[in-house]
Chain A
């Protein structure tokens, strides 16, 4: 697994308090990992800080799963 994926996973695990093995490629933050809408905003904020990038609101809306987040950040970082 890439370095970016590891770092994203760490943030998700810490923020949502879920087991690491639940954070799979297609795991949806809201449907599978128990995030509420405010959690998803906070996750995006945490990604922005961790990777020093800006994630615009319309892009943030497309980040639904762990895989989406890794893909977006890999392209942006």
Chain B
């Protein structure tokens, strides 16, 4: 089950904890992976760890021209992009009343607009192949909101509406478009929280623990697999019950 042998996957934000776990999961199922991110070191370390079938493609997602070029580079490296995982994201948290246009714009640009551009960039190949999997990594806050994250929540909720619209358009071509919405996951970002902050958040998680990046990787692997061909336009929430939606 969930065999991706012969498939090629482009994963953005692969230098991060969740992106790396997603790349490992897809690669472990046999896929060739293109690891994209801004920081070369972790990308090359991950590629070295994966060994064969791993390519590094550096890309700054706030650079529109670089984003346009990324799908083409991935095709050059791997021959195709059968699976696209839009995982990269940034935060610029601030209280709504204090949020600058710049903080708003940056987050929308990197988290939402680059996702739109990358989806558009891989569609031609997927349409011709009559097969494709797009998995966009949203967030629980896109569904629930979060104080201080008006920009981030807007981008993550925007991803869901965008994915559903695209899912409608391309379903008849064997292409599925879904989202995975992680809850509270152990990453470099959440490591910065102190024990008290973590304990407070955990009171809201029925599972009583933080999620692991691998658990997001597994959700993405399912949605990328041939077995999930009848699943499209959905959001898979992976949050330990933090929000049952």
Q: Which residues of B contact A77 (CB under 8 A)?
A: none
For the complex, give the distance between the alpha carbons of A38 and B128 in Å.
12
Q: Which residues of A contact B128 (CB under 8 A)?
A: 45
CB distance from B176 to the nearest CB of A (A): 15
* Inter-subunit contact B124/A38 (CB<8 Å): no
B173 at the interface (CB under 8 A from A): yes
For the complex, give the distance between the alpha carbons of A66 and B124 in Å.
22
Number of interface residues of A (CB under 8 A): 3
Q: Which residues of B contact A45 (CB under 8 A)?
A: 124, 127-128
Q: What is the number of contacts between chain A and chain B, taking CB atoms within 8 Å?
A: 9
For the complex, give the distance between the alpha carbons of A38 and B173 in Å.
10
Q: Which residues of A contact B127 (CB under 8 A)?
A: 38, 42, 45
Kindly state the interface size class of chain B when it binds its partner: under 10
For the complex, give the distance between the alpha carbons of A38 and B127 in Å.
10
State the majority secondary structure of interface residues on A: helix
Q: Which residues of A contact B63 (CB under 8 A)?
A: none
Residue of B nearest to A45 (CB): B124
Quick one: which of B99-131 are within 8 Å of A by CB? 124, 127-128
Q: Which residues of A contact B172 (CB under 8 A)?
A: 38
Residue of A nearest to B123 (CB): A41
- Which B residues form the contact surface with A (CB < 8 A)? 124, 127-128, 169-170, 172-173
- Interface CB pairs A-B, < 8 A, 9: A38-B127, A38-B169, A38-B170, A38-B172, A38-B173, A42-B127, A45-B124, A45-B127, A45-B128
